[in-house]
Amino acid sequence: MRTFTEKELKKYDGRNGIAYIAYRGKVYDVSASYHWRKGIHQAMHRAGCDLTEALEQAPHDPDLLEKFPIVGELVN
């Protein structure tokens, strides 16, 4: 499986049409999600980041991510 550093993940912030986000070490492709249009979610979150902490505060369960393909792992 492909690995991403935080710096590499930042390239996929949705501005180029590809939006990846990380959660608990896994990198998800959310490009096709209505809620991640242009790489922005709820006016508060930008793709290309590790959202593990933010997801703990979100008004939805992390299992919503299960419908999105995993494209890699986030490494330090």
Binding residues (CB under 8 A) for other proteins: these are: 34-35, 42-44, 57-60
* Cβ at position 27, least distance to other proteins in Å: 23
> Is the CB of 17 or the CB of 59 nearer to other proteins?
59
C-beta of 65 vs 74, nearer to other proteins: 65
The CB density around residue 30, as the number of other CB atoms within 10 Å, is 22
- Residue 22: CB minimum distance to other proteins, A: 21
What's the rounded Cα separation, in Å, for the pair 15 and 68? 19
The helices-and-strands tally (H runs, E runs) of the chain is: 2, 6
